[in-house]
Amino acid sequence: MTTLPIPAPLPYRPARTRTDLFAALMRAAGEFGRNKTIIYDMVDGEERLLSYKDVIRGAFGLGSALASKTKSGESVGIMLPTGAGAVIGFYALSAYNRVPAMLNFTAGSRNLKAAMRAAEMTKIVTARKFIEIAGLEALVKDLSRVAEIIYLEDVRENLSLKDKLAAVIGPLAPGLIRRKARYKSPGVVLFTSGTEGEPKGVVLSHENVMANVEQVRAHIGLDVNTDKLFNPLPTFHCFGLTVGAILPLIAGIPVIFHPSPLQPREIVKRIRETGSTILLATDTFISQYARVGADGDMSSIRLAVCGAERVKDETRALVRRKFEIEILEGYGATEASPVVAANQWERNKPGTVGVLMADMEHRLLPVDGIPEGGRLHIKGPNIMMGYLRPSAPGVLEAPDDGWHDTGDVVAIDDEGFIRIMGRVKRFAKIGGEMVSLAVVENCASAIWPDNLHAAVAMPDPRKGEQIILLSDSPDCNREEILAWAQSHGVPEISVPRRVYHVDEIPVLGTGKIDYGTVQKKAVDLAEA
């Protein structure tokens, strides 16, 4: 762990949020210097460094070319891996008042078509090289039936004189090239995972995203002189986009992009080589990095911020023991741009997701059968403009009076620290009692910490519902879970009725468990 002093967070400044995303990038270039290296990208095995000037010039040139193929205000898909290409593509669309729609290329053709229908999207920006490396030829062929596929390689080869002039003039006199977007207008569209039906589009305004950037800066101290942020998370995931890409560029913190979080050996090597100080991860990913990393591999890291899933005690202990890194756990939702709460260096309470971001309100609604806490509703400048549903293409469904129902059951202590008890849909009702499926998974994780476990509820003729656990541990069995529960004061009702070993627990591109597929697997196993 690095011994650098811990910087103090900045005050939250609402005035800085009232701008569009591209204008905020231009402002940052003025604040920190156009020649400052801001992106480390991996291209053909070589580290490529880009300055603010490089990013802005690229955005103007590419944006001019894409503007000739699109309309102002149009949602345009981006299907690219985490890296400079995705970021420049994002800002290229933003610079010319097009709305980037970040597509999850791991979601499958059906879900992607539903997402495109919801956002009335008819064009997708991607790269031939990426499609080839990722083996997505069949997917793109299918999508090409309903959308125009725009390849970056073709765009670069056919840049017009106008596009080249835009790249030169834009950074110097942006007012001649672009008109600022209204900060309350759509800035980006992201999509829910679609595990419980078709994916929904989440429309975030420029102000929503900028508010969350400034909220995070007011929550966690960043040092523009010494910090480097390592981001292996996908930019189609809101955490990977807002915190992992937009935040560092706005805050003047160099960001190291890695195209996939599923390369632990390559990642720990790049962390060491680049001297990264901040790591974004999930529990699943950081535990992998910690296991493969050797002494010194992650010694430069001063801060590891984890979201998307609960950080297990075992993961926290492993990372602390091996690398002396404290994990700050946070909580978010795409609908909140995404960060809702996070622990802080000086106020870190393990087992919680920290306290709410600045300028946010909350209320808890009681949930039948759960005596503690309640269903969390949130409101604030970072809450989305609304949903786009495939069933009503282009129709914005705004939150009721600005309040978003997270669907999560939480408890909040006297100091404001939030403890996630589980999703409303992630409880089983057994004999009239509500049992958190997360607790069931935690019991299994305590016994077999190196494996993935997923619990689901299924109908039970006598008790209403029963709990089924799937695990990729070959040693998994109900008897051992029961013994552990009894010795640790966990009620027997939280012990799964049946335990099945599976070769693999399905996960989404975001790293979260794909409970839709797990549910289907559990039904098949139970009926076999």
Express each pLDDT in 89-103 by its tens digit. 999 999 999 999 999
Whether residue 419 is contained in a domain is answered as no
Q: What is the mean pLDDT of residues 279-295?
A: 85
Helix (H/G/I), strand (E/B), else coil: 310:
coil
Same domain, 279 and 252: yes
Domain span including residue 448:
431-527
According to the model, what pLDDT value does residue 4 have? 61
Q: Are residues 372 and 468 in the same domain?
A: no
Where are the extended beta strands (E) located within 307-431? 327-332, 339-342, 355-356, 361-367, 370-379, 386-389, 392-397, 404-412, 418-423, 427-430
One domain for residues 66 and 158:
yes
Looking at the structure, do residues 155 and 46 belong to the same domain, yes or no? yes
DSSP 91-122: HHHHHTT-EEEE--TTS-HHHHHHHHHHTT--
The structure's pTM equals: 0.85
In this prediction, residues 35-40 reach a mean pLDDT of 96
- Domain total in the chain: 2
pLDDT in tens, 318-367: 888 888 888 899 999 999 999 999 999 888 898 899 999 999 999 999 88
| 257 and 153 share one domain | yes
Percent of the chain with pLDDT over 90: 62
Read off the CATH number of the domain in which 447 is found.
3.30.300.30
Decide which of 379, 412, 445 is a domain's last residue.
412
* pLDDT exceeds 70 at position 3: no
Tens digits of residue pLDDT in 411-425? 999 999 999 887 767
Longest dimension (CA), the chain: 74
Residue 506 lies in a domain: yes
Residues 208 and 71 in one domain: yes
Same domain? 385 vs 507: no
As a whole number, mean pLDDT of residues 148-156 equals 96
Residue 4 within any structural domain of the chain:
no
Element holding 281 (H helix, E strand) = strand 278-281
Within a domain: residue 2? no
Under the banding of pLDDT at 50, 70 and 90, the label for residue 431 is low
- Is 233 found in the same domain as 283? yes
Helix runs in 68-185, H state only: 84-95, 109-118, 128-134, 137-143, 152-157, 161-169, 174-177
Secondary structure element (H or E) that encloses residue 466, with its range: strand 464-471
CB 126 within 8 A of CB 80: yes
CB count in 10 Å sphere of residue 4: 13
What is the reported pLDDT for 194?
A: 54
Q: Do 500 and 407 fall into the same domain? A: no
Strand partners, 101: 77, 189
